A and B are shown apart, each in its own frame.
Chain A
Amino acid sequence: MPVISADLVHVEPSLSCDELQRRLLSGQTLLAESSDHLLEVVGVLESYGEVLDAYSLNLIYQAEHQFLNPVPVFKYLDGDLSPAKIWRHLNHDRINFEYAEYCQKAMFWHGTGGLDAYLDGEAFASNCQAIIAAKRRRDPLLALLNPLFPGFLPELIRSAATTHALGQFWRVMSDLFLDLARAERSGQVSTIAHVVDFIKEGLVAAAANPITYGVTIAGQHHWVLPPEAGLTFLVDVAVPYVEAVFLRGMPFLGTVSFNAQAQQISPDQAQFAYGALYADPLPSMGAGIPPSLLLQDMYRHLPEPLHQWYRQRTRGEGDVRVKICMSFQKSMFCVTNAAINGTMPHPLSTTDPQQQAANAAYALAWADRLAAGRTDCLAA
């Protein structure tokens, strides 16, 4: 007999801006403490770590070995041209590297932070010219195109630089998430608060890592992002990444109309709210939802306990990827939480009213942006 439809619809309360600010300032985690949450966040981050490992390796491979290749047919093969690997790629039995490129594009297109500023500078332009000059000598196509289209190659090199930087960023994140899973198994991490602290510490430890990128052309090494540019992990890559992928994102063709007359998309990119913290998990795996690729990758690397947990809920295996998306959103709030904690202007324990006010303003700025996000996944 038919069911009552209202029973089939679930909604969790969303958190207000004040509540978010309170949690940030009181040192409470954004995501509520519970053993389920711990299982979800650690499990999903573990599979994400595995996926990021592959993404990172491939982005770095692309930036270094497929540099300015006009027909990069084998760009996802990481240089391994064995028949078995080619077959697996043809059968699409592989990581969806397209999603890594999608994130790179988002980061590049939104263009915020120190790395982006460096790409418009004089130093970068002269590095570019040196690289193009070296490349032109052995590549007639580029030799022909560059004078006709002077903007072409520098833009590709900028894109490659972002690709490499994102690869380096994900290297750190991948290791961090896999370490987190190990720490949870060994009992060092047993609450959501531990998770947030663990990530925060990882980020702080890597904050000053230099971001550099060079290519080798005809045996000669050229810097694209030289060490003297002084680009570092946290402010020049991690922060723009969070801005571009967690917060702004890019509109999904599957849910938003690009029709200019409909004006569904803001002309101001800073107003975009399509990122991981805002996206609706329900249409996952549908048409025109790019994160479906990531969800599939994570699904293929799901740790068994979490997979088991999913099997027992709602449709079990049937809607597992939507559930992964929901857990992923929770874990991304934890990462954001760690990043905010790590960049808080002053320690939370401060008693100086001025410092407290600065902290409050900082937390408020974040809470304001997060309040429009999917805070309903955080639970009360």
Chain B
Amino acid sequence: MLLSSLLLIPFVGSLVVLLWPGGPSPQRLRLVTILILVAQLLVSLGAIALFDPTAPGMQLQELHAWVPGIGLDYALGIDGLSLPLVLINAALTLVSAVITRDIDKRPRIYFAMLLLISGAVNGAFLAENLLLFFLFYELELIPLWLLISVWGGANRAYAATKFLIFTAVSGMLILGAFLGLSLLTGTVDFSLTPVLSDRLTIGGQLLLLIPLLIGFGIKIPLVPLHNWLPDAHTQASTPLSVLLAGVLLKLGTYGLLRFGLQLFPEAWARIAPALAIWAAFSVLYGSLAAIGQTDMKRMVAFSSVGHMGYVLLAAAAGTPVALLGAVFQMVSHGLISALLFLLVGIVYRKTGTRDLQVLHGLLNPEKGLPLTGSLMIVAVMASAGLPGMAGFISEFLVFRGSIGVFPLATLLSMVGSGLTAVYFLLLVNRAFFGRLAITPPSGDAQVDGRLDVRLSPVALRETLPAIALAAGVVLLGLWPASLGHLSEAATTAMGLTIGGVA
């Protein structure tokens, strides 16, 4: 029942918000949403208590036949791969709700959609049935699309449509693969049993794995399927970007691990070398594209493209250490990118711009955003893989686990890690160092030197979520055993599966 309650809380919560009697103020709705999400977080934390970290398989399973005719079962389970993601989902949706202020239109629908997304994501992470996964995977799309197209920036229609087309294609491909599985094996068994050559020829496996790869590759996103992401991020509001980068991209990598690697271990091992090269390409492309950006948010979005590539590299390598690294990377990227988007959001709200050619000197102690700037330095250093923070141990595990299998791709990915420092240092040094300025330089040094910049102050409550995320990043960086302990058994088992067939 615990896992069902992880679905019930947000879904029922969503209804509660929609049907709240009277005309509740946006603040009241926000408070209700926050309370619901706190409950969800507490239940998710409760799952840790019930979870046995030494057991590799699915736990706390729930199984009810739903539509047996088409093989759709209500089958839920949790393991060391999905548990951290469920936690991240609960934590980051809460952060999103907390940082949602000044909602100007339809707060009721906004908060209901937020809860709906969180529930659907939980469902996708917990589903033990392919069709059930697909249902939740699609369910999360509509609210997300609504959130971009109603509460987004000026160019939101374009971004939302693009997002919709891309993810619809992704969904079609995934569904096609799942149906194909049924078609090729001639059964309607949509459980998570690995598909080996005794059930399906290797050619058939590849035929199904490749659409899955492209489908999830869109979601992650991998280059060149990434085009929807920067636009979606730049048009989405800050809370939505936090959710998108922190949680929703993980659906793609989770899908790859669960339905690519775990479902088709043989075919996976066959194409792993190509995947490793693809990963390295994605990493380098994302990093190089980020260097060229002048919009802070686009830069962070491209950094996501680069950093999600590490997960693919680790999945391709498939060693226990690499897979553990993949889980670490998903969690730390969730925390770090959420932190980055949150801080960029604060800068945008206070200055009205995210243009790196315009912003300068925001570290100014009295008139700038010094705390935001200090946290930004923490965030970019974590993202660049500096030790003592979550990014380092994740990347170290990924690289250490992959270098023996794919040395070249790993070394190229490490170059990408070096490039992260380049673009994020450009970001910090341009926007936060120097004399405070938020308008383009006039060309006359004396005029620029006399501008008085009057930004509104950042209240402590606006920074609190960022402080909490930063603390999480440092905590995970200094005490990685906390997460390693939860996921080790699952990733080791997964690594052995793939190791066994390779």
Direct contact of A and B (CB under 8 A): yes
Check: B162 CB closer than 8 A to any chain A CB: no
Task: Give min CB distance, B314 to chain A, whole Å.
Answer: 38
If A10-B452, A11-B452, A282-B364 touch, does A2 touch B349 (CB 8 Å cutoff)? yes
Check: B455 CB closer than 8 A to any chain A CB: yes
* Contact of B366 with A3 in the complex, beta carbons under 8 Å: no
Q: Which of B364, B367, B450 contacts A11 (CB 8 A)?
A: B450
Check: B456 CB closer than 8 A to any chain A CB: yes
Check: A314 CB closer than 8 A to any chain B CB: yes
Check: B353 CB closer than 8 A to any chain A CB: yes
* Contact of A8 with B102 in the complex, beta carbons under 8 Å: no
Check: A14 CB closer than 8 A to any chain B CB: yes
Complex: how many Å from CA A8 to CA B350? 9
Interface of A is mostly: loop
Binds B, one of A29-37, A63-71, A122-130, A315-323: A315-323
Q: Which of B104, B351, B366, B447 contacts A319 (CB 8 A)?
A: B366
* Contact of A6 with B439 in the complex, beta carbons under 8 Å: yes
Q: Which of A7, A8, A14 contacts B450 (CB 8 A)?
A: A14
Q: Which of A3, A284, A318 contacts B457 (CB 8 A)?
A: A318
Residues facing B in A118-147 (CB within 8 A) are none
Residues of A within 8 A of B199 (CB): none
Check: A164 CB closer than 8 A to any chain B CB: no
Check: B31 CB closer than 8 A to any chain A CB: no
* Contact of A2 with B451 in the complex, beta carbons under 8 Å: no
* Contact of B348 with A319 in the complex, beta carbons under 8 Å: no
Complex: how many Å from CA A316 to CA B366? 11
Complex: how many Å from CA A280 to CA B439? 18
Residues of A within 8 A of B449 (CB): 280
Check: A79 CB closer than 8 A to any chain B CB: no
Check: B28 CB closer than 8 A to any chain A CB: no
Check: A5 CB closer than 8 A to any chain B CB: yes
Residues facing A in B430-476 (CB within 8 A) are 435-436, 438-439, 446-447, 449-457
Check: A81 CB closer than 8 A to any chain B CB: no
* Contact of B451 with A5 in the complex, beta carbons under 8 Å: no
Complex: how many Å from CA A4 to CA B435? 20
- 16 new A-B pairs (CB below 8 Å) besides A11-B450, A286-B364, A286-B365? A1-B104, A2-B348, A6-B439, A8-B352, A9-B439, A9-B451, A9-B454, A255-B435, A282-B436, A283-B361, A283-B364, A285-B366, A315-B366, A318-B366, A319-B366, A322-B366
CB<8 Å pairs between A and B, sample of 23: A2-B352, A2-B353, A3-B351, A5-B358, A5-B438, A11-B452, A12-B452, A14-B446, A280-B435, A280-B449, A280-B450, A282-B364, A282-B435, A283-B361, A283-B436, A285-B366, A286-B365, A314-B367, A314-B454, A315-B454, A318-B457, A319-B366, A322-B366
Which residues of A does B touch, CB under 8 Å? 1-12, 14, 255, 280, 282-286, 314-316, 318-322, 374, 376
